[in-house]
């Protein structure tokens, strides 16, 4: 038989695996099938990119509009390496006046394009658009638009790693995982130490698959986006889960930002909090954007997520916190920038040193 991937994941009965029980196929065969399913889907359950854009006024009107007749990049995100995946599926929800504007995705290191795809005249889903990426490190994916055929409105963008197809490969995969034959642990088949070692090694490898907690991009060249290139001066929050083994295994998440560098030092500060106030902040990742030649630069840091109970709807025993970024002052013309420091002090009790003073064009938080 082949290393088939089950259509659904059926968890093993833990009670049958307790010490003192007989070594029965009905106890161990589900482990092999669940391992194959997890190998195929690890990293596919959480999007690499998921960003939506607001609508306002009558209609309502999309904030993210593009009217230029020249193809150009308007957004960009990072995609962390995911179990050796060399392709992602890209989706866009949007529309184009007359149904003529086009959308495409491009990878920087992978040097690939999806090719232009026409957006519908009414808001609809476009995708999946398969895009080749580089698997050796963090990839950059950009959204390109061309409104030659009609003005474009974008509501949301989604980028995911597709599940591996069935059957899985034979032998040790590039990610270190080993698939099981569909009949390998069936009745009357031997239960070898090698099989159990492969099962444990695969589980350990899959545990290292990174998940993206937050992936945000500013807008470039959008008609209504003169104030959308950077994070504006209001609280930006993202509720995230915290793995129970965070403290035991000293797990940290990586914070990567693209910020505008000026002659003076500035900072990107990402807080882990149980709310949106200064007193709710538990830990902070502070990244220095050293002064120098003006321009966008990539900076990164790490953050240990504290185990709290912020999201009440999560499974029992799974902690959660808020990721919080509050820019102080972004760019000329933003009426909300000037009172940011005063607002922060008056409404949260925080000191200005807790605000993000850099102009943030892009932000990603990812880890185990």
Of 77 and 197, more confident: 77
Tell me the C-alpha distance between 365 and 215, whole Å. 7
Inter-residue contact 259 to 358 (CB < 8 Å): yes
**What's the whole-model pTM score?**
0.86
DSSP string covering 252-287: -EEEEEEEEE-SS-EEEEEEEESSSSGGGEEEEEEE
Average pLDDT over residues 148-173: 89
Query: Cβ(365)–Cβ(208) under 8 Å?
Result: no
Q: 3-state DSSP call for residue 31?
A: helix
Mean pLDDT of 81-87: 86
**CA-derived radius of gyration, the chain:** 23
pLDDT beyond 70 at 166: yes
Q: Provide the token pair at 353.
A: 């040193």
Q: Are 270 and 240 in contact (CB under 8 A)?
A: no
Report pLDDT digits (tens) over 241-290: 888 778 777 889 999 999 999 898 889 999 998 877 777 888 999 999 99
Domains and CATH numbers, the chain: 14-44+169-207 (no CATH), 49-160 (2.60.120.260), 230-367 (no CATH)
- Other Cβ atoms within 10 Å of 138 Cβ, number: 18
Average of pLDDT values for 337-341? 57
Can you tell me whether residue 329 is helix, strand or coil? coil
- The residue among 145, 165, 169, 168 whose CA lies nearest residue 157 is 145
């Amino acid at each position: 038989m082949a290393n088939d991937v089950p259509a659904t994941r059926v968890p093993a009965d833990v009670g049958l695996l307790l010490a003192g029980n007989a070594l029965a196929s009905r106890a161990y065969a589900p482990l092999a099938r669940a391992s194959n399913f997890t190998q195929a889907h690890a990293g596919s359950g959480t999007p690499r990119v998921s960003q939506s854009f607001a609508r306002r006024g009558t209609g309502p009107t999309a904030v993210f509009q593009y009217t230029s007749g020249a193809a150009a990049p308007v957004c960009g995100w990072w995609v962390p390496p995911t179990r050796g995946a060399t392709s992602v599926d890209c989706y866009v929800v949007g529309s184009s006046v007359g149904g003529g504007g086009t959308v495409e995705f491009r990878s920087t290191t992978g040097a690939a394009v999806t090719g232009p795809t026409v957006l519908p005249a009414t808001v609809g889903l476009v995708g999946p658009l398969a895009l080749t990426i580089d698997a050796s490190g963090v990839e950059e994916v950009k959204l390109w638009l061309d409104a030659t055929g009609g003005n474009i409105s974008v509501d949301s963008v989604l980028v995911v790693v597709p599940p591996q197809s069935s059957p899985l490969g034979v032998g040790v995969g590039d990610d270190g995982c080993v698939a099981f034959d569909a009949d390998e642990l069936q009745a009357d088949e031997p239960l070898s130490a090698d099989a159990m070692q492969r099962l444990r090694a695969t589980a350990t490898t899959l545990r290292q698959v990174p998940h993206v907690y937050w992936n945000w991009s500013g807008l470039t060249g959008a008609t209504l986006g003169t104030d959308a290139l950077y994070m504006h001066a209001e609280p930006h929050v993202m509720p995230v889960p915290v793995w129970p083994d965070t403290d035991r295994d000293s797990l940290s998440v990586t914070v990567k930002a693209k910020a505008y560098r000026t002659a003076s030092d500035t900072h990107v500060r990402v807080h882990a909090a149980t709310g949106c106030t200064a007193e709710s902040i538990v830990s902070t990742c502070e990244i220095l954007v050293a002064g120098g030649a003006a321009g966008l630069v990539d900076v990164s840091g790490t953050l240990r997520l504290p185990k709290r109970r912020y999201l009440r709807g999560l499974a029992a025993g799974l902690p959660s916190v808020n990721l919080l970024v509050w820019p102080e002052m972004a760019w000329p013309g933003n009426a909300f920038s000037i009172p940011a420091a005063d607002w922060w002090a008056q409404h949260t009790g925080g000191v200005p040193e807790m605000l993000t003073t850099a102009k943030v064009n892009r932000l990603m938080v990812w880890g185990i």
